[in-house]
Structure 1
């Protein structure tokens, strides 16, 4: 009798790989909110079947990254204000716990935090604000990775992808990214120096200020859209 378990496991792994590639496209900003995810094109680009791609899109839909519309296909989601508040609630819960526990972090995990901050600083010097945002998100992923939990790491990658979609409401990426570069460095240095309580306070203030900023910018964008529609009416 043919053992189908190996085939099923392989199909699941392939769908998860395809989902991770699409998730990475969202994190880096190459897949913006509202981008249509066309099955034929994406299946060819990712080297998977359309059935496998559909499963990958289903996985991303469960993370809130994709909306699947009947007879219209899938699109990358736009983050609502309620979703943005939820993103920051999750981030505070996980990242602050990670900082509390980082005294037991491995040298490799601490080096990853430093490496992400240096990448952010290089991107700032180059004026590559999209890359600043990507590297900063990787910095926060590196903080969470000090907990040593693959399950949390996987879940948090989805959270950072949603965060990137929240950033996308502002066309001027410098405006939304520049304020945080020096704060990433401050938190990194406090962690490396062993000042976990101070790092936790700085990170909490950072996340609260970032949430207020993003929600304010979302409000500005919504007001601008409403004004434009009123002018057209």
Structure 2
């Protein structure tokens, strides 16, 4: 009996991990927005797994800071606060600047990923596909992080990127927000690829500081608007 139980756990865990990765990718691609309800029964049917496995995946996403679960109320995609944004950007500054410092010993393959990601963002801007601009911008910054050649750091940033996408979604107009960063991504890419690491780091820090401030303002405006709407509904 114990043996069967252990085998069941062994099978369920990879299934939950796979489901977690798929849902995290949906968030990163902007296909699951903040506040979206997540029902284990619906997810189990979508992924062809048991409801227990779906619950395990939701628990993993809760640990990732991407989902909130309330007893007897269910789960939903997390809505970030200004404090969450500050925490995310503190981590970004530490990881991305450290990655640039390691670019001198990076392989041609890793450096090429930076060029490809920057070019892809530019192509999506030309096509006016703002959802993909946001996704490719995150891919660009992940390509910088991959200069660390650390699987642990890359996995951590993959979750951080999903959290960032939730932050982007709270901006009043994501297209206006995204277009301002693509040219700066290109400048940072060119500096890294030409070995001008100090300049790349300086531009990246300015970029992250400005991005953080804009997103915090956007989140506060969204929170204020929702508060006003809730107040109006209660008054009526």
The answer to whether the superposition gives a TM-score over 0.5 is yes
Pair 6,132 (structure 1): closer, same or farther in 2 beyond 3 Å: same
Is contact 2:172-2:222 (8 Å) kept? Answer: no
Local SS of the residue matching 1:74: strand
2:147 equivalent to 1:146 = yes
How does the TM-score come out when normalised to structure 2?
Answer: 0.93
Aligned to 2:61: 60
Separation in 2 of the partners of 1:186 and 1:22?
A: 32
2:74 equivalent to 1:73 = yes
Aligned to 1:198: 199
Is contact 2:172-2:218 (8 Å) kept? Answer: no
Is contact 2:142-2:158 (8 Å) kept? Answer: yes
Structure 2 gap segments, 5+ residues each: none
Local SS of the residue matching 2:76: strand
Is contact 2:133-2:178 (8 Å) kept? Answer: yes
TM-fit CA distance, 1:81? 0.7
Aligned to 1:126: 127
Aligned to 2:25: 24
Separation in 2 of the partners of 1:180 and 1:226?
A: 30
Aligned to 2:219: 218
Local SS of the residue matching 1:169: coil
Aligned residue pair count:
233
2:102 equivalent to 1:104 = no
TM-fit CA distance, 1:228? 3.8
Separation in 2 of the partners of 1:6 and 1:146?
A: 38
Separation in 2 of the partners of 1:41 and 1:110?
A: 41
Aligned to 2:189: 188
Separation in 2 of the partners of 1:152 and 1:8?
A: 27
Separation in 1 of the partners of 2:60 and 2:231?
A: 38
Structure 1 gap segments, 5+ residues each: none
Aligned to 1:92: 93
RMSD: 1.8
Q: 38-47 or 217-226: which moved more?
A: 217-226
TM-fit CA distance, 1:161? 0.6
Separation in 1 of the partners of 2:219 and 2:90?
A: 17
Pair 132,54 (structure 1): closer, same or farther in 2 beyond 3 Å: same
Local SS of the residue matching 1:30: coil
TM-fit CA distance, 1:196? 0.8
